[in-house]
Each structure stands twice: as structure tokens, then as C-alpha cells.
Amino acid sequence: MTVLVTDSSALLTREEAREWGVRVVPLFYAVAGRPFLETYSGENGDYLSLLAKGQHAQTSQPAPGAYLSVFDEITRQGNEVLCLTLSSRLSGAYGSAMAAAKELPDRNITVFDARTTGGGLYMMVQQAAALAKNQLSAVEIADQLYAFRDKVSVAFSVADLTPLHQGGRLGRVRQSINTILNNHPLFLCRDGTIVSDGMARGKTAQQDYLFSKVPPGASHVIVHHAGK
């Protein structure tokens, strides 16, 4: 049997993880020096109020040992592992999972770089769970996910770029882009990294942009919203 593993950036609820048979490895973050262990969606405390106060935010990927213990437990029971991580261009989670897999060379462990995060990763885990019900091997599921990955897209906008820069998620995007004069920066997750896609003037233009990024004929749309 193939057992799925992912990280908490997939935003699964505890019930979804149980129903889909997914093991969730937590990410770590700190706001104003206060550590948080990210687990299931809706169970991660009131960190938004700290961000709203302009507190410094930092993130950290799981250590290889966090994946190793999960991989070892699953494979000792005779199961295969398919681990889907958020994009390797946004986090070291993929590298940690690969390092853990190399510690168990005689086990059936496949690590898949989802090249996305958040709702995109959620969709990929959901698709993998549906395929796993057909008794496919980890490699067979991963082969089908490559085509599915190309169909998943993420667009978003933020009110404040500071947390993204503090967390190291914007790469080459200029920090000088800001939200003065009611301007809202627009972004895409493209090829596994965050790229700037312009600026919207006002809330209506911001919402119109996000709606425009839903492809015609899309079968699933996930909307995430944080804060006011």
C-alpha cells in the first residue's frame, strides 16, 4: 500500500488527513521570537494578530529527522511512501525529505517536488489520495502527478510584503514594491517560485485580477484568505 506524506503548508485539516490517509510533517515558524509548530489547518494559533502588529516573522523547514521517523514507521509496516513537499524553490523541505529517504536506501520511498504550496499543494495531495485508492504504487502515482502539476496554478495578493521578505519567500521581487496609494502587489507561483505579476489599484482591481487567473473550465478552485 502507498501511504502519502506531506508538509503542513498543504493546509490539510486533521479530518482530511485522517480520511485521506495522509501523514503531515509540521513546518516551523516564529513571530516576534515566539515559536510556532504548524500542524493542521485551523489549529495554528493566533499568529495573524502578531503579524498585524508588524512583528518579525521567520520560517524553517522540517529537519531530515522529522521525515526520517515518519518514513521509517510507514515502511516498517511494509508500505511504500510517496512524500509530496512544497516547492524546492521556496523551502528546504524537499531537501530534508530527500536526505531522509537516502538514510533508508532499502525502502520504497518516493519524494515528489510539488513545485507549489498552499492550495496548489492541497490539490496535489487530494489527487494523490484519489490515485492511492486505486492501489497504485508510489512511482505510478508520481508519474501521473507530473501531468497534473502542470495544470495547477496559484495567484495571490498581499497587503504587506514585509512578512514575505522576512521569511525569504520573494527572492528577486523588489522590496520597494509596496501598498501605498491603495496599490496591491500581485503574484504568481510559477515554476515553483514566486514572481511579481504587476500591481492592482484598489480592492476591486485586486479581486478582478484574482478572478481572471481562474482558467476557463477549471474543475477546482481554492480560495485562501487571511486577516482583514
Judge whether 228 lies within some domain. Answer: no
Q: Residue 179 has what pLDDT?
A: 45
CATH of the domain at 12: 3.40.50.10170
DSSP string, 189-210: EETTEEEEEEEEESHHHHHHHH
Q: Is 27 part of a structural domain of the chain?
A: yes
42 within a domain of the structure (yes/no): yes
Which pLDDT tens digit goes with each residue over 75-121?
999 999 999 999 999 999 999 999 999 999 999 999 999 999 999 99
Q: Is residue 226 part of a domain?
A: no
Q: Are residues 115 and 167 in the same domain?
A: no
Q: What is the pLDDT of residues 153-173, one digit of tens each?
A: 999 988 766 656 555 555 544
**Cα 5 vs. chain centroid, distance in angstroms?**
13
What pLDDT sits at residue 136?
95
Number of domains in the chain: 2
60 against 73, higher pLDDT: 73
**The pLDDT value given to residue 130:** 96
Rounded Cα distance between 138 and 80, Å, is 6
Among 113, 128, 149, the domain boundary falls at 149
Eight-state DSSP code of residue 63:
P
State whether 56 and 136 are in the same domain: yes
User: Is the pLDDT at 59 greater than 80, yes or no?
Assistant: no
Is 126:149 a contact under the CB 8 Å cutoff?
Answer: no
Chain-wide mean pLDDT for the chain? 86
Is residue 61, in this structure, part of any structural domain at all?
yes
DSSP three-state, residue 212: helix
Phi-psi sector, 66: left (phi>0), alpha (psi -120 to 50), beta: alpha
Confidence (pTM)? 0.86
Band (pLDDT 50/70/90 cuts) for residue 215 is confident
In a domain, residue 224? The reply is no
Give the CA distances from residue 217 to residues 79, 135, 146, 206, 211, in Å, rounded to whole numbers and listed in that order.
Answer: 37, 29, 20, 22, 13
The tens digit of pLDDT for each residue in 183-193 reads 888 999 988 99
Chain segment 109-152, per-residue pLDDT in tens:
999 999 999 999 999 999 999 999 999 999 999 999 999 999 99
Mean pLDDT of 26-41: 80
Same domain, 33 and 126: yes
User: Which residue range(s) make up the domain with 79?
Assistant: 2-149
Together in a domain, 94 and 12 = yes
Same domain, 11 and 91: yes
Task: Please give the distance of CA 205 from its chain centroid, rounded to a whole number.
Answer: 26
